[in-house]
Structure 1
Amino acid sequence: MNAAYHIPVLLNETIDMLSIQPNGIYVDCTFGGGGHSSAILKHLSTDGKLFAFDQDADAFQNFPNDERMVFISENFRHLQRFLKLHGVHQVNGILADLGVSSHQFNEASRGFSIRFDGPLDMRMDSRSELTAEKVLATYSELQLHLLFEKYGEVTNAKTLAKHIVQYRQHTSVGTTAQCKAALSEIVKGNPNKYFAQLFQALRIEVNDELGALNDLLIQLPNVLKKGGRAAIITFHSLEDRLVKNYFKGTIGEDENPFVSTPKKQDFKLITKKPIVPSDTELRTNSRSRSAKLRVAEKL
């Protein structure tokens, strides 16, 4: 485990809830610093297997030399496809920690943090083409408005979008410092909170985070064995709502309130309410403050 790269959130709670079988097959969808994977390995026998996904090439530097592990340098939205390539059709447990790693936040060149000046990149997978700079430079005013409103819950999302479209006609915005300077006159409330919400919205869009999460969720019933568990840690309400609704079997019900379609129940909720960090964890890792863990078991 590389604690300098990333401190795993809700580690003990997650491992306990996965109810790991020593000879089972498990998946860590977000390897990162390897903290959760390291803890899973401690519970596996020589017959156990752990597949670790991470689309960020930097994560591979934390990969241990362990015959029980396989590293897959892909987004977890391709879970089923890459497991099949390794001859695996069903697993005993799946973990996904959806938070951005401390390493990603702390590397100025990645553009994730409002604390450092760096390129407006925000790609978790450097192979992808869309960057935060490209979003700000090419999206229409309406696209930007909806993006900031939905993904960042920015209070003046419409004004922000209009300002960006007008500003980019005469000046490019290519770095985090340029972005903050360009928008300083329309910031509402606490500037740090405002830019954190803006950057969150851009990051979610650049990495299609909600689309990837939805792709993962719909694969779970086929990938998990009966009695297998999925443990998912979210960090904002959009993610948490997706996970909660999927585990409860209510995804899509809001699309037409006048039509009630019975849905096959694939999961039993293990956590009726999400598990949140203890006071001790909050004191030692402030970045865990918005974490919520939900766990469900395949029926």
Structure 2
Amino acid sequence: MNRNRAFTLTVLVLGLAYLVAPLVFVVVNSFNDSGYGAWPPPGWSLRWYQRLSEQEGFGQAALASLGIAAVAALGAVAAGTAAAVSLTRFRYPGRKLVESVLLAPLIVPKVAIGLGAFILFLQAGFYGSGTALVGLHLVLLLPFAVNIIGGALVRIPTVYEQAARDLGAGPVRAFVSATLPQLRRSLLASYLLCFMISFDEVDATVFVISPDQLTLPVSMYQYLQRYQDPTLAALSTILIGATFAVVALVMATAGASALSGLHGGKGRTK
């Protein structure tokens, strides 16, 4: 038993090291003194962070990405919740077809989705608008929201909603008052995942974005086509640090919430 645990722990550590190694490389390369990212670094410098501060386009693109990701993730969670309820709580003709359509963006290449969105938005007159970007991202994010929230709904018994219905609540009020509070962690996890996916999306975005309204990933892609210096490594290091900070904050908040709930339960028990 101890050997199995040691083997499992070793595999997990090696797997984690394999995943983290590229991030370490990016962080180290952001302090590289070489202008073309020589490895190992011949010296250390902060000039790429200074050069990053001189790039005005990145700041505007980051704000655009934050706004699009925030709205698209919120829409995906709302639509994903409704779709998950429909798929897990009801049986109706065509249910499998609806599920297949909702999950299709996980299978269809993003390039194909982006090309289709380009043709659709161009004919509808929405090409290059924020509405087009949010709509495209919403389609790409919906499968993730449906999977996470649907998986949580399956584990929640319907007895709570039935009790609320017996007390006179309608179906919507019963769900909001009895089931929705139990989904708060799944909703938060779904929103954060959708936000990060939307913020990082580039494959389909390049088809529907206008030259004067760039998101951060597209702006980074265009910069990489012109320059090969470690400026993007400096920007990536900042994004990595921000991601770790957000994850730590969420974990701390969730831990504090669980701890307060535990103490509250003990107090009620007494």
Q: Report the TM-score when normalising by structure 2.
A: 0.30
Higher share of residues assigned strand: 1
Q: Which fold has the larger relative contact order, with Cα–Cα distance below 8 Å and residues 6 or more apart in sequence?
A: 2
Pick the structure with greater CA Rg. 2
